Chain A
Amino acid sequence: MRFGVVVFPGSNCDHDAWYALSHNLGHPTEFIWHDSNSVGNADAVILPGGFSYGDYLRCGAIAKFSPVMAAVKKFAQEGGLVLGICNGFQILVESGLLPGALLRNRNLRFVCRPVTIRVETTNTPFTCAATRGQLIKAPVAHGEGCYFADQRTLDALEAEDRVVFRYMDNPNGSLRDIAGICSEGRNVMGMMPHPERAADPLLGPTDGRVVLESMVRSMVAAHA
């Protein structure tokens, strides 16, 4: 299984995702530069955290115009797995690959601390190796992570089983405690907590691995 980690100017969790996938999990992983017109031979694409293009205007608002995002959209339409973490989630929302918006944290301050999230559905390629109700501890680190959407969208997300994670201790004011959602086709997911920062036993709990391992498992199943 080959992972591709997109590098935007200002991405700063790109190396962390690369390290978790290549060193902690042992899968070949390459970087994809923001001006490339394809995602290369990646089987799954990670949009990492950071401050793409300085997060000027709005988080992720400029990244959506980058050449690579056209390629990522195409890749997603063809069923490829796309995981957006933190700034990557913001980019997915700005690009229209996921619904809703990520607003400034309710208390208007950046927050970095471990949070506990609950797996709400295992019917996604990102949680198929987890159990429903499983608790995952992983850090958040963001200033704009308050998930917002209108009632109808929120209801639809729930009705379609697309809320993937909820916070047990909501750090940012997200509506309905939403920490991660997936696309209608279930192959695109965005989440604010950082699974790649919870993948190395040396640094503490490795709860985040289940997200990355789920991706591997579902890709293997797809290829079989």
Chain B
Amino acid sequence: MSDLAPSELAKVRGILGREPNQTETGIFTVMWSEHCSYKSSRLHLKKLPTKSERVLVGPGENAGIIDIGPNEKGERYAIAFKIESHNHPSFIEPFQGAATGVGGILRDIFTMGARPIAVLDAIRFGPLDDPECGDRNRRILEGVVEGIAHYGNCFGVPTVGGETVFERCYNGNPLVNVFALGVFRHDEIFFGRASGIGNPVIYVGAKTGRDGIHGASMASAEFTEESKQKRPNVQVGDPFMEKLLLEACLEAMHTGAVVGIQDMGAAGLTCSTCEMGSRAGTGVEIDLARVPQRESGMTPYEIMLSESQERMLLVAEKGREEEVFAVFRKWGLDAVTIGEVTGDGKLRVKDHGVVVAEIPNRELADEAPVYDRPHGVAPYRPAPMEAPEIPRSRDLNSDLLELLGSGDLCSKRWIWQQYDQSVRTNTLQGPGGDAAIVRIKETGTSVAMSVDGNGRYCALSPREGARLLVAECCRNLSAVGALPVAATNNLNFGNPERPEIMAQLVEAIEGITEACKHFETPITGGNVSLYNETLGEAIWPTPVMGIVGLMKTAPPVTIPFKEGARSVMLLGGLGTVDATRFGGTQYAKVVLNKMWGLPPALDMDYEKRVHTAVREVIAQGLAESSHDVGEGGLAVALADCCAEGIGASISLDTGLLPEFALFHEGPSRILLSTSQPEAVEKIARENNVECLRLGVTMKERLQISNSSETPAEKWIDCRVDRLREVWENALESLLNPVPVG
């Protein structure tokens, strides 16, 4: 447990005007933990843009809310979404850690009144073939995937996308970031506010046990050899209970008797009581003797700090409790009045009538210390700036196959086939596309979602890396025809008390700020996960963005080429690169086993014009296929387009080295196939972006040659079924290595 610092303890004494007792100390410790209070990041998070005409609710609530407009009946609809991490628990106990991560973010969504309709996961592990940690990494991945599947499938929400990345820096600290999104009408929005003096405070859902005590403070500390002893700090999830809680809560909200509601997540009963009171400017008085308990003999300290899952706290209108109880009875759930809203602004906790804690809500919830941690140094960089001598490739074909079979770029089908992707029958595009798309049945609108991180880029430059992430997400959305409208972020970093780590965090937040302003995607909420270190070794700076876009509901334009004899076009052009900007690529990682320099250069104005152009191409129905050029570069993107058996004959006119031309990861590029190349070119011209005709689609082979040489130099020539075989089977082979000897 990370205790209160001496200065924090002094502040507590100042607030209370006396020494805190043990229960109060526990309450302050969790509420002022990094996880709950954002004390190291808060100062810098203020820089993020948070407003637009569409933002109905920004940061500070359980989830952000965006207006998505009215349906034909004039009913206005909205979406709620957020991303959250469950990194530390997933390392200690992968299955339950990941499962409860899904459970927690789903509650954040439906506590606002929205029905969850989509989940995406960004998960990161050490390499599966790591000589030392490979076994453990495989076990963690299998556990995390099974945990996500267990919870989401049973709850009945489709898992429609995400990303899986492998880097050595996650060997001792995997990252599990879960994004969830829900939908509702404007008049169905609820807030976590304990309004109305005298109103009853009602506890609903699972009983309270000793599990997860101090989970929030565990998530705010580094890992040491002793961390395995913290397994009891990881909560156990019950998705069936959560499903009942979802239905019961939404039904209870519809009675009109609910005033405010909040889930009990991190810091459990403590957090929900004081935050609800603080937001409403009221006090909350509860008696722990009335709290449903799973175990006997729990102390007030344990009850207040338990992180047992699937619990909610709600405030009902006085006199209408029975309407609420009736709904919960119908769903077979506990619902008990445990206290009431008071006018004195205090959280007063009693145990059989005896006061065991009394703390002002506002000071507890909102007056946590804010630290301006030193960051006046260069961000820590794990790699040199100068490019090494880059050896000339001996065989570009086998380079391409090696990339397609590598952990980051290979098909993740083995993972996502374990997720129910189509329950609720809204999934227009599930995992494997540039962006996931779910339709909103109640309106003619669909929501596209992309989650993306890149620790490698951000390690080389947190600011540029962060900007690239935002650009990439927005490009993914635009590549399916959606207009990016809002974002959530999950900031995964090391120990902020180290200035070179704090500098990474500050630079990344500023990079996100610049890009989110530029692409008009305000941040509506998110999560900060610090102290991602094991035995003193920090993960690379890994901000993960989740960006949502809106589009008219229509059959999606997908990645694969559909027909032969279509023009293959590269909207945005070939891009530029030099040796320094090549050091963060997958080619450098996989083929050269090196890292250096800087991430690819980004021109945000140009990038935005490319987005506008591709959305227009799709809106006019000109694209038969569409795919963002991302990690692995142009050759990998082309290979992705061949996934359904149609290949292409491509001719590049470039003076670049073949390694650079084929595998550099410059942004602002989208691959299209079309039967109307002139119309696409016209749109490109109107938007002042380059557009190249690279070649034509054809059966069976992918061929790439360089036409700047005479005769043309053949770079890639491979059967598409071979490309597909390598790409499809790589993950399973990595998970089931052939024993040596």
Contact = CB atoms under 8 A, between A and B. Distances in A.
Nearest to B439: A202
Interface string B230-252: 00000000111101100000000
Given A110-B149, A112-B422, A200-B425, A54 B154 contact: yes
B553 A202 contact: yes
B240 A202 contact: no
Interface string B63-84: 0000000000000000000000
Interface string B264-303: 0000000000000000000000000000000000000000
A111 interface: yes
A167 interface: no
B425 A141 contact: no
Contacts of A139: 422
Contact of A197 (B146, B239, B243, B422): B422
Interface string A198-224: 011011000000000000000000000
A16 interface: yes
B156 A50 contact: yes
Interface in A98-144: 109-113, 139, 141, 143
A68 B421 CA distance: 29
A75 interface: no
A111 B417 contact: yes
Contacts of B416: 112
Interface string A65-93: 00000000000000000000000000000
B606 interface: no
B420 A54 contact: no
Given A51-B243, A111-B418, A202-B428, A13 B423 contact: yes
A15 interface: yes
A20 B441 CA distance: 12
Given A112-B420, A196-B425, A203-B428, A141 B153 contact: yes
Most buried by A among B154, B418, B423: B423
Interface residues of B, number: 32
B6 interface: no
A55 B153 CA distance: 12
B332 interface: yes
A203 B425 contact: yes
A170 interface: no
A49 B417 CA distance: 17
B423 A16 contact: yes
A9 B248 CA distance: 11
B256 to A, nearest CB: 22
B184 interface: no
Contacts of B238: 54
Contact of A112 (B155, B418, B555): B418
Nearest to B238: A54
B421 A10 contact: no
Contact of A113 (B156, B417, B428): B417
Nearest to A24: B425
Contact of A109 (B241, B418, B441): B418
B363 to A, nearest CB: 41
B417 A12 contact: no
Interface range on chain A (Cβ under 8 Å from partner) = 20 to 34
B332 A9 contact: yes
B645 to A, nearest CB: 17
B425 A110 contact: no
A54 B421 contact: no
Contacts of A203: 422, 425, 427-428
Interface in B154-199: 154-156
Contacts of B423: 12-13, 16, 49, 141, 197
Contacts of A112: 153, 416-422
Interface in A166-195: 194
A19 interface: yes
A194 B424 CA distance: 12
A170 to B, nearest CB: 14
A148 interface: no
Contact of A12 (B155, B331, B441, B554): B155
Contacts of A12: 154-156, 243, 423-424
A15 B428 contact: no
Contacts of A13: 156, 423
A15 B425 CA distance: 9
A31 to B, nearest CB: 12
A141 B420 contact: yes
B184 to A, nearest CB: 15
Contacts of B422: 112, 139, 141, 194, 197, 203
Contact of A54 (B240, B424, B428): B240
Interface of A: 9-10, 12-13, 15-16, 19-20, 49-51, 53-56, 109-113, 139, 141, 143, 194, 196-197, 199-200, 202-203
Given A54-B238, A110-B420, 11 more contacts: A13-B156, A16-B425, A20-B425, A54-B241, A110-B419, A111-B418, A112-B418, A141-B420, A141-B421, A202-B555, A203-B427
10 closest A-B pairs (Cβ-Cβ)?
A: A12-B156, A54-B240, A141-B420, A51-B154, A16-B425, A112-B420, A110-B418, A110-B149, A10-B240, A139-B422
